[in-house]
Amino acid sequence: METYFLEGEIPNCEPEKAVVHVIPAPLETSVSYGGGTSGGPAAILEASIQLELWNGRSCPAEAGIHTASFADCSGDTENSLGAIEKSVVFALECGAVPFVIGGEHTVTLGALRALKKEHGTFGIVQFDAHADLRSSYEGDPLSHACVMRRAVEDLGLPVFQLGVRALCVDEVEFRKKSSLVSGIDARALYLNGIPESLLPDNFPENIYISFDVDGLDPSVIRATGTPVPGGISWHDALSLIEKAVAGRKVIGADVVELAPQAGDHASDFAAAQLVYELIGHCVESQESKS
């Protein structure tokens, strides 16, 4: 039987009564360095058993969290994205916020497709070591390295990137010419700190938060495919999330690219803690905008 989020602390809320649906999506078809992301969702769920319900502000779990069955990611990428999209659509039909746990970063596209149909335009706040703006990678336009390019080009969604520190030349050029991509890279955050006003004034009120765990420094989470040095610290990440959601409504979120390693419980636990922190903001933003 599959473990559910915060098992042992709360019941797995009925889907129609939950404020948040956690959707495990163990996709791993295009990883390009270290593998293992297919084990990420199960590791996060297992680690969540050790979390405390109080997050420093409230107990988000009391609002109701439903953990869905694992999305079927055994087929090709398009079929896997269809399964993820179906789970997200069901969450929306239940009036819940979809929260996908991956799996490689491509899982985000399944959620975005469903949310685009439901909400139209919204903004994506992306935490990541990589821009993920390649048109294609290793011949695959659905690679994890292309997910934000698909969001911008295919869905017309604006993206604000935080913590990026590894880009190819094509991504640099695409950033320069695209009016839909902005952000603050890791080096700028290190040199200048977190600005008082984070997102552009014209950024949409509805936002989706996509958090690739390699956006964090490897001292926080090392178990990921490409642990690039110089990433965001834990508390800076929490401050950036708080500033991103201020005055806005979180309509969906994901945490992706955890690649569990034997003996590294710290990475799994940090990823589970990150999921719960973001769930807290999902719940709070829904309450403030209701």
Q: Residue 243: inside a domain, yes or no? A: yes
Q: Residue 14: inside a domain, yes or no? A: no
Q: Residue 141: inside a domain, yes or no? A: yes
Q: What is the DSSP string of 24-50?
A: EE---S---SS--GGGHHHHHHHHHTT
Q: CA 2, CA 283: separation in Å to the nearest integer?
A: 24
Encoded tokens for 162: 């935080």
pLDDT on residue 33: 61
Q: Residue 11: inside a domain, yes or no? A: no
Helix/strand/coil (H/E/C) assignment for every residue in 45-84: HHHHCCCCCCCCCCCHHHHCEEECCCCCCCCCHHHHHHHH
Q: Residue 91: inside a domain, yes or no? A: yes
Q: Position of tokens 């006003």? A: 197
Beta pairing class for 65-67 and 20-25: parallel
Instruction: Give the chain's length.
Output: 290
Looking up residue 46, the CATH number of its domain turns out to be: 3.40.800.10
Q: Residue 52: inside a domain, yes or no? A: yes
Q: Residue 9: inside a domain, yes or no? A: no
With beta carbons less than 8 A apart as the criterion, state whether 91 and 21 touch. yes
Sheet of 123-127, strand order? 65-67, 20-25, 97-102, 249-256, 206-212, 123-127, 159-162, 181-184
Q: Residue 12: inside a domain, yes or no? A: no
With beta carbons less than 8 A apart as the criterion, state whether 111 and 208 touch. yes
Predicted confidence pLDDT, tens digits, the chain (290 residues): 589 999 999 999 999 999 999 999 999 997 666 679 999 999 999 999 999 999 999 999 999 999 999 999 999 999 999 999 999 999 999 999 999 999 999 999 999 999 999 999 999 999 999 999 999 999 999 999 999 999 999 999 999 999 999 999 999 999 999 999 999 999 999 999 999 999 999 999 999 999 999 999 999 999 999 999 999 999 999 999 999 999 999 999 999 999 999 999 999 999 999 999 999 999 998 877 65
Nearby residues of 214 by Cβ (< 8 Å), 6 or more positions away: 128, 129, 130, 221, 224, 225, 226, 227, 228, 231, 257
Cis amide prior to 103 (ω within 30 degrees): yes
* Residue 212 domain boundaries: 20-289
Q: How many domains does the chain have?
A: 1
Greatest extent of the chain over all pairs of C-alpha atoms, in Å: 50
Encoded tokens for 16: 């129609």
